[in-house]
Amino acid sequence: QVQLVESGGGSVQPGGSLRLSCAASGRLFSMYSMGWYRQTPGKERELVASITRDDTINYADSVKGRFTISKNNPWNTVWLQMSGLKAEDTAVYYCKVVLFGASVYWGQGTQVTVSS
């Protein structure tokens, strides 16, 4: 069992920055990966960035060079540092945890709005 608490969403102007945080509790030793996904109305949820226990990182092409994912050690938290934000980054961002054995847990989502 894993519980996730997300924070850091908000409203910013284009070009601004925001830092999302996802704190996990529970069977942390079983975590294989943590990541951030986002979803806008009418679209499927899509990967933004993910990081594995061995620090393998994946980014969506649309955010590469602007977003940075990181985690602490011992591992219980993942952060998404978002810079150079664009209007198209507006979405609800969800934290996702995958355990060894492929069990999946989702956070409640946090709204990110980029507008002038």
Dump pLDDT digits (tens) for 80-98: 999 999 999 999 999 999 9
Which pLDDT does position 105 carry in this prediction? 95
pLDDT > 90? residue 15 = yes
The pLDDT assigned to 1 comes to: 84
With a cut of 90, say whether residue 60 has pLDDT above it.
yes
What's the distance, Cα to Cα, between the start and end of the chain in Å?
41
3-class secondary-structure state, position 88: helix
Q: What is the pLDDT of residues 20-32, one digit of tens each?
A: 999 999 877 789 9
| Rounded CA separation 32/13 (Å) | 34
Q: Is 15 helix (H, G, I), strand (E, B) or coil?
A: coil
- 78 confidence band (pLDDT: 50, 70, 90): very high
C-alpha triplet 58, 110, 104: angle, nearest 5°: 55
